[in-house]
Structure 1
Amino acid sequence: MTVRISHPLIYALLTAQLAGCTVGPDYVRPEAKISNEFKESKGWKQAQPRDNVLSGKWWEIFNDPRLNKLEEQVAAANQSIIQAEAQYRQAQHLVQSAQSGFFPILNLTGTTNRFRAASGQSVAVSGVRNLFGVAGAIAWEPDLWGSVSRQVEANTGSAQASAATLQALRLSSEATLADDYFQLKALDAQKALLDETVDAYSRTLQIIKNRYAVGMVAKSDVMQAETQLESVRAQAINLGVQRAKLEHAIAVLIGKTPAELSLASAPLDVQPPSIPVSLPSELLERRPDIAAAERKIAAANAQIGVAKAAYYPSLNLAVTNGFQTSTLDNLFKAASRYWALGPAGAALTVFDGGAKNAQYKQAIDGFDANVAAYRQTVLTGFQEVEDNLAALRILEEEKQVQDKAVAAANQALALTINQYQAGTISYLNVMTAQTAALSNRQTAVQLHSNRMSATVQLVKALGGGWNVAMLPSPDQAGGEVKWTDYLIFPVE
C-alpha cells in the first residue's frame, strides 16, 4: 500500500502555532530583464495555429517517421537521462529526510546485567546479582524557529530544480539527436550529389577519350578530366567518415552501441516547418533550464532561514517509560515500572568563533550567486532565440539567392560543354564551369542542412513544448511515501 503524505500530521498539530516564528526571508522571485518583443522576430512567419504546434513530442512537426521512432527511444534508453532521473529521485528522498525532522524519535532499549558488588560494600543482597531492563524513550526538538521548515523548503526547491534539470537534459538530448539526424541526411544528400557528379564526369571522360582517340583533343584534356573525376570520387568517400560518426552519436543517444544501429541513406526531402514564437515574457515559463535556475534561488533563499535559525536557542524534550527488575519473570509487572519526564533542556551557543556568522553570510552569498546565475540563464535564453530567429531569416534569404546561383551555374555548364564540343573553347573552361556548378549545388545542400539545424535549435531555445506547469508541486517534489518507509530497516 502506498500512502501519500503531503503535510505530516505531527507537524500540523505541533508547529502550526509556531508558524509565525519561522525566521529568514520569505521567497520572492527576483526580476530579470525582459524585452517587449524579440528583436529578430520582425517579419517572422508565425506558425498557424500557434498554440497547437509545439507539444511534448515537438519533433513530429518535421513529419519524419524515422526521426519519430528514434526520438521515442531517447527518454527510455538514454543513459544520461536515466542518470538524471535517479538524481531527481535522490533529491526527492532528501526532501523526505528533511521532513523527518518534524517527527519525534522513538528508541526501544533492552538491557541485561549480571554483576557482583565489590567486597566491603553495604548491599541489601550479597553475591552475584542480575538486573534486567526494558525502556522506551521519546525525544523531540520542536521547530521553534523554522529551521526544519526552511530545510524542507530548501530541499523541495532543490528537488524541483533537479526535475527541471532533467527536462532540460531530455530536451537537449532530443535536439542533439534531431540535429545529428538532419546532418546525416545532409551528408546522404551530398553523397548522392557527388555520385551523380561522378556519373556525369565519367560520361564526359569517355567522350574526351573518344575524341582523343581520333585526334580531336590533346592528351592533357584526358588527364584533366581524369583528375577531376577522381577528386570527386575522393570527396564522396571522405563523407563516409563524418556519416559514420553521426550514426554512432545517434546510437549512443538512444542507449545503443554503434554496432546495434544502421541507418540507411535517405533523401533530405523535409523542409523547415514554421515555428510558433511566444512573447519574451513567456520564455521564462517555457524553458526548463530557466525554471531550474529559479528553483535554485528558492532553495538558496530557504538556506538563509536555516542559517539564521541557528542563532536562536534549541529546545529538547524527552520522555522515558520502562521496566527494571532483578528477576526476569517480574520484568513486566507494575511494581517494576518506572518513568521519567526529561531531560528537557535548552541550549544557546554564546561563542563559536564566528562560525554561525560565517555560515549566515555564506548563505546570503549563495543566494546572490544563484540570482546572478538565473538572470544570466534568462539572458542566454533570449540570445539563443534571437540567434536562431536571425539565422532562419537570413538563411531563407540566402536560399533564394543560392537557388538562382545553382540555376545559373547549371546553365553556364551546359553552354560551356556545347562550346567545348564545338571546339571553340578549351577543356579548362569546362572544368571551371563544372567546379562552379558542383560547388553551388553543394552549397545549396549545406544551406538546407543549416536551416534544419537552426530550426531544431530554435525549438530547443523556445523550450520544446515544455511549460513550468509541468514542474512538480511542493508535495510532488517530496515523492511518494510508503508506510514501510517509516520502519527502521529497508523493505523492498
Structure 2
Amino acid sequence: MRPRLELLIIALALQGCSMAPAYKAPTIDLPAQYREQTSDGPWHLAKVQESSPDWWQIYQDSRLNDLQQQLLKANPDLAAALAHFDAAQAYAGQLRAGLFPQITASAQPLRQRQSDGKPLRGSNQPSVYNSNTAGFALSFDLDLWGRIRNQVAAGDAQAQASADDLAAARLSLQQQLATLYVQLNGLDTQQKILTRSLDDYTQALQLTRDRYEGAIASEMDLTRAQSQLAEARAQLDDVRAQRDLAEHAIGELVGQPASVFQLDASEQMLGVPSVPGALPSTLLQRRPDIAAAERRVFAANANIGVARAAWYPDFSLTGLLGGQTAGSGNLLAAGNRYWALGPLVNLPIFDGGRLDANERQAKAEFEEAAAHYRSQVLRAVREVEDNLGQLRDLQREAEDEQAAVDAAQHTQTLAMNSYEAGAVNYLDVVTAQTSALQAQRRLQTLRTRQLQASVGLVVALGGGWNSGAD
C-alpha cells in the first residue's frame, strides 16, 4: 500500500505543474503626456476615475440619449456581438468541464443471433439469445502537466476577450450614432442658414425686378438675382439629400427600417464639450479593444503550455461498474456484476514532427498576439493625438472663420444699401451675399467637425474623461 500512497502523493503534487511560460503582458512605453495641447496646457498624468457608460450625455441632447438607448435595445450588430460573447462563455464552460471526472451511464438490451460457423462456438450454445447490459463508466484525466488547466485558462481569457469585443462593438456603434447625429444636427443648421438666405435672395430678386421694370436696373442685374436664388435652392436641395442619407443611417443603427424612420429637424444646436486640461495617458488602459488584445496574448501564452504538455505522458483513471445477464436475472446480483479500475497512460513515441510543429505554432501565435496588442496601443495613442489636434486647430480655424462671417455680413449690408441708393451695380450685391453665405456655411461645417472630433476623442479614451488631480 505504501508505494501506491507515494504515487498518489506525487500525482497530486504534479497537478500543480504547468508547462506554460510565466505570463507578462507585452510592454510598451506610453507617453507621460500627449504632444498636442489643450487650451489649459499639456495633458499629464492624473488619478483615473471610472468612466460613464452614458458618455454622450456630455452633449446635453435628450434626443441623442433616446437614440442611444434604442441602439442598445435593437441594433442587430450588437445582438450578434452579444451572441458571440455567449458562445465564447459556453465554450469556456466546455473546457472547464475537463477538470472534473466524467461519468456516463449506459444500458443495452439486445436480442441477437450468432453465426453457426463462429469459431470456437460450443455445441450447447443457442443460436439466438438475449444479452442485457447496464453500467457506469468513469474517466478522469489527472492533468499532471497542466494541459487541461491551460486550456481552461486560455478559454477563460478568450471569453474575457469576447466580453471586451462586445464592449468595443457597443462603443463603436455608439460612436457611429453620435457622429451621424452630429452631422444631422449640422445639416439642420445648414438648412436654416440657406432658408434665411433664400428669403433674403427672394426679397433682393423682387427689388431688382421692381427696379428693372422701372428701368432703373439692367436685365443683367435681374438674371444675376434669378441665378443666385436658383443656386441657393440647389444648395438647399443638396443639404436635404445629405440629411436623408444621415437619417437613413441612424435608422439602421437603432434597428428601424429607413422607410419608416424619421427625425424632425433639430431646434437645438449642439455645443462642443469642454475638454479637461489634465488627462492621463493611462485612460487608454480601459479601452475595450486594448483589453481584448491583452487577453488574447494571455490565451496564446496558455496555449504554449498546452502544446508543451503534449510531449509528456498523459495519465488518466478509468473505471467500469455494471451488470450483464443473458436475458433474465437480476443485473445487480453478485454473479452478474462486472467492474474494472485502473490507470491509463498515453505516451507519444513517434509523430512525424507534429508535436514540435504544434509548439512552434503556439509560440508564433503568441508573438502575433503580442504584436497585435502593441499595435492596438499605438493606434489608440494616435487616435487621441489626432482628435486632440483636430479640436485645437479647428477651434482656431472657427474663430478666424467667425471673424470672416462678421465681416462678410457687414459687407453684404453695405452692398445692398449702396445698390438701393444706386451707387453700385447688382454684381457687388451678388458677390457680397455669396461670400456671406459661404462663410456662414464654412463656419457651420467647422463646428460640425469640432463636434465629431470631440466624439472621436471621447471614444479614443474608452468613453469619457473622468479624472482628478493626485
Structure 1 length as normaliser, TM-score?
Answer: 0.87
Farther-moved stretch of structure 1 (450-459 vs 102-111): 102-111
In 1, are the aligned partners of 2:131 and 2:326 still within 8 Å (CA)?
yes
| Alignment deviations for residues 314-367 of structure 1 (CA, whole Å, 9 cap, x no partner) | 12321112222324133321221222223x332211221111111111111111
- Report if aligned partners of 1:251, 1:257 keep a CA contact under 8 Å in 2: yes
Equivalent residues in 2 for 1:401-420, closer than 5 Å: 401-420=400-419
Once the two structures are overlaid, the 10-residue window that deviates more, 98-107 or 85-94, is 98-107
- Provide closer, same or farther for how the CA distance between residues 45 and 56 of structure 1 changes in structure 2, counting only shifts above 3 A: farther
| Residue 251 of structure 1, CA deviation | 0.7
Within a 5 Å distance, the mapping from 1:217-366 to structure 2 comes to 217-276=217-276, 279-342=279-342, 344-366=343-365
| Residue 63 (1) aligns with residue 60 (2) | yes
The corresponding residue for 1:429 is 428
Deviations 1:10-36 (A, max 9, x none): xxx998633432112121111112111
Q: 1:4 aligns to what?
A: none
Question: How much has 1:452 moved relative to structure 2?
Answer: 0.8
Residues 296, 44 of structure 1: CA spacing in aligned structure 2 closer, same or farther, 3 A cutoff? farther
AA partner of residue 394 (structure 1): D
The CA distance in 2 between the partners of 1:213 and 1:60, in whole Å, is: 56
Matched position secondary structure for 1:137: strand
Rounded to whole Å, the distance in 1 between the matches of 2:50 and 2:293 is: 26
Amino acid at match of 1:78: N
CA distance in 1, matches of 2:98, 2:116: 45
Instruction: Measure, in 2, the Cα distance between the counterparts of 1:268 and 1:82.
Output: 32
Q: Secondary structure at the match of 1:292?
A: helix
Conserved? CA contact 1:290–1:377, under 8 Å: yes
Q: Equivalent residue of 2:16, what SS?
A: helix
CA deviation digits over 1:113-141, x for unaligned, max 9?
54457479674844344433222221222
Distance 1:91 1:377 in 2: 22
Contact (CA 8 Å) 1:160, 1:292: kept in 2 or not?
yes
- Which amino acid in 1 is paired with 2:334? A
The amino acid of 1:460's aligned partner reads V
Indicate if the aligned counterparts of 1:287 and 1:466 stay in contact, CA closer than 8 A.
Answer: no
Q: Distance in 1 between matches of 2:10 and 2:234?
A: 79
Match of residue 160 from structure 1: 160
CA distance in 2, matches of 1:16, 1:277: 57
Q: Aligned residue for 1:109? A: 106
Q: Evaluate the alpha carbon distance shift between residue 281 and residue 202 of structure 1 in structure 2; reply closer, same or farther with a 3 A threshold.
A: closer
Does the CA contact (< 8 Å) of 2:408 and 2:436 recur in 1? yes
The aligned residue for residue 214 of structure 1 is 214
Q: Which runs of 5+ in 2 are unaligned?
A: 1-8
2:18 paired with 1:22: yes
Q: What secondary structure is seen at the aligned counterpart in 1 of 2:271?
A: coil
- Counterparts of 2:401 and 2:245 in 1: how far apart (Å)? 29
| Equivalent residue number for residue 133 of structure 1 | 133
- Partners in 1 of 2:251 and 2:228 — Cα distance? 36
Label 1:131 to 1:213 Cα distance change in 2 as closer, same or farther (>3 A).
Answer: closer
Given that residues 402 and 440 in structure 1 are in contact (C-alpha distance below 8 angstroms), is that contact kept between their aligned partners in structure 2?
yes
Contact 2:74/2:255 (8 A) holds in 1: yes
Partner of 1:265, secondary structure, is coil
Q: CA deviation at 1:396?
A: 1.2
Cα deviation, 1:160-184, whole Å, max 9, x if unaligned, reads 1111111111111111111101111
Which range is displaced more, 274-283 or 242-251? 274-283
How far apart are 1:422 and its partner, in Å?
2.0
Instruction: Give the corresponding residue for 2:3.
Output: none
**What is the rounded CA distance, in whole Å, between the counterparts of 1:426 and 1:174 in structure 2?**
52
Q: Provide structure 1 residue ranges, at least 5 long, that are not aligned to the other structure.
A: 1-12, 468-492
| Helix, strand or coil at the partner of 2:105 | strand
1:53 to partner: Cα distance: 9.7
Aligned counterparts of 1:310 and 1:277: Cα–Cα separation in 2: 54
Distance 1:29 1:104, change over 3 A: same
CA contact 2:82–2:166 (8 Å) conserved in 1: yes
Distance 1:54 1:330 in 2: 68
Shift of residue 274 of structure 1? 1.3
1:98 to 95, 98, 105: 95
Distance 1:45 1:264 in 2: 40
Structure 1 residues 342-393: Cα deviation after superposition (integer angstroms, max 9, x where no partner) = 3x33221122111111111111111111111111110110111111111111
Question: 1:325 and 1:263 mapped to 2: Cα distance?
Answer: 77
SS of 1:135's equivalent in the other structure is strand
- Conserved in 2, the CA contact under 8 Å of 1:109 and 1:136? yes
Q: Which amino acid aligns with 1:73?
A: Q
Check the 8 A contact 1:314/1:348 in 2, yes or no.
yes
SS of corresponding position for 1:139: strand
Question: Distance in 1 between the 2:23 and 2:145 partners?
Answer: 17
CA contact under 8 A between 1:53 and 1:61: conserved in structure 2? no
Which residue in 1 is equivalent to 2:173?
A: 173
Greater alpha carbon shift after TM alignment, 367-376 vs 328-337:
328-337
Aligned to 1:3: none
Q: Distance in 2 between matches of 1:157 and 1:51?
A: 25
Spell out, residue by residue over 1:426-447, the C-alpha distance to the aligned partner (whole angstroms, 9 max, x if none).
2111111111111101111111
- Deviation sequence 1:195-235 (CA, Å, 0-9, x none): 11011011011111111111111111101110111110111
Partners of 1:153 and 1:295 in 2: how far apart? 10
State how far apart, in whole Å, the 2-side matches of 1:325 and 1:101 are. 33
Shift of residue 279, structure 1, vs aligned partner: 4.6
Q: Cα RMSD (Å) of the superposition?
A: 2.5
CA distance in 2, matches of 1:53, 1:66: 25
8 Å CA contact 1:35–1:280 kept in 2: the answer is no
Counterpart residue number, 2:74 = 77
CA distance in 1, matches of 2:121, 2:212: 132
Matching residue's letter, 1:97: Q
1:102: Cα distance to partner?
A: 1.3
Aligned length: 453
Q: C-alpha deviations, 1:75-112, integer Å up to 9, x for none?
A: 11111111000000110011111111112222323333
Counterpart Cα distance in 1 of 2:405 and 2:188:
19
Distance 2:107 2:123 in 1: 25
